Amino acid sequence: MDGSTETASSSETASSLVGDDLRSAARDDSSVPAAEGDPEQCGSGGGTSSEGVDPQQQLELARTAKEQGNLHFGKGEWDDAIECYSEAIEVAPADSPERAVFFANRAACYSKIHEYEAVIEDCTSALAIKPEYVKALVRRAQAREELDQPTEALEDMRTAGKLDPDAKAATSAIPRLEAASNAKLEKQKDEMLGKLKDLGNSVLGRFGMSLDNFKAEKDPSTGSYNISFQQ
């Protein structure tokens, strides 16, 4: 994704990815592991397992996988980061609110490799857990814009802006998305009217007429239209 997105800068580090996420997580975890050294591979010998452990231990294992994902993200190793965040999602207790962070972080990885449908899916999962998750709303909006869904993107950005008026990624995008949404709606309307006109002409043609024989005049007092026939 381009530089206008929240996580698209090539200089983004693991700490910038999860700074806000960690502050919103259930525990106070202000320390973000530095992106240095060789992180363990998730899902292979260094992976985690939740089998036979209690929920708190499951959550700790999930956090460990997430931290490994942060390290991979900081190194630009998107596929490895995705694997680690996926493991965190799988290992964490189903009712843990921190799963919202894991989904949002994986969505950031998918945005890096232009898998925008996956971004939308993961952000939607994050929002199902945490409906007022501004970062997930912005990230989903950016993906929707990339997929030429400006109306849906605008809705997400407006919601994010209401939840956090200081969210510049949302407030700066709203005017652009309003214009794009209106333009697309006008295009769709013109296409629909064109199809209706073609259909009308095909029917009227059987009687030697076309829609050009009819003139619509607006009544300024009522706002309604009067249709008159012209030879």
Domain locations in the chain? Answer: 14-180
* Better-predicted residue by pLDDT, 53 or 201: 53
Give the pLDDT confidence score for residue 88 in this predicted structure. 98
> What stretches of 25-133 show up as alpha helix (H) in DSSP?
55-74, 78-91, 99-112, 116-129
Q: What percent of the chain has pLDDT over 70?
A: 61
Report yes or no: 59 and 98 within 8 Å, Cβ to Cβ.
yes
Confidence of residue 46 (pLDDT cuts 50, 70, 90): very low
Give the pLDDT confidence score for residue 30 in this predicted structure. 30
- Tell me what the pLDDT averaged over the chain comes to: 78
Give the pLDDT confidence score for residue 107 in this predicted structure. 98
Buried-state track 21-55, b at ≥16 Cβ within 10 A, e below 16: bbebbeeeeeebeebeeebbebeeeebbebeeeee
Confidence of residue 190 (pLDDT cuts 50, 70, 90): low
> Does residue 37 register a pLDDT over 60?
no
Give the pLDDT confidence score for residue 208 in this predicted structure. 59
Give the pLDDT confidence score for residue 187 in this predicted structure. 72
**221-229 long-range Cβ contacts below 8 angstroms, 24+ apart:** none
**How large is the angle between the packed helices 134-146 and 116-129, nearest 10 degrees?**
160
Question: Tokens for 68?
Answer: 């490994």
Question: Tokens for 10?
Answer: 């090539």
Q: What number is the average pLDDT over the span 42-65?
A: 76
Question: Tokens for 91?
Answer: 């290992």
Q: Which helix (H) or strand (E) holds 24?
A: helix 14-24
Give the pLDDT confidence score for residue 214 in this predicted structure. 57
Predicted structure pTM score: 0.66
> Does residue 161 register a pLDDT over 80?
yes
Report yes or no: 196 and 190 within 8 Å, Cβ to Cβ.
no
Give the pLDDT confidence score for residue 42 in this predicted structure. 79
Give the pLDDT confidence score for residue 223 in this predicted structure. 67
The predicted-structure confidence for 206-216, as pLDDT tens digits, reads as follows 665 665 655 66
Q: How far apart are the first and last CA of the chain?
A: 56
Q: What fold, for 14-180?
A: 1.25.40
CA 139/CA 6 separation, integer angstroms? 7
Q: What percent of the chain has pLDDT over 90?
A: 55
The predicted-structure confidence for 96-155, as pLDDT tens digits, reads as follows 999 999 999 999 999 999 999 999 999 999 999 999 999 999 999 999 999 999 999 999
> Does residue 40 register a pLDDT over 70?
no
* Better-predicted residue by pLDDT, 51 or 151: 151
Give the pLDDT confidence score for residue 155 in this predicted structure. 97
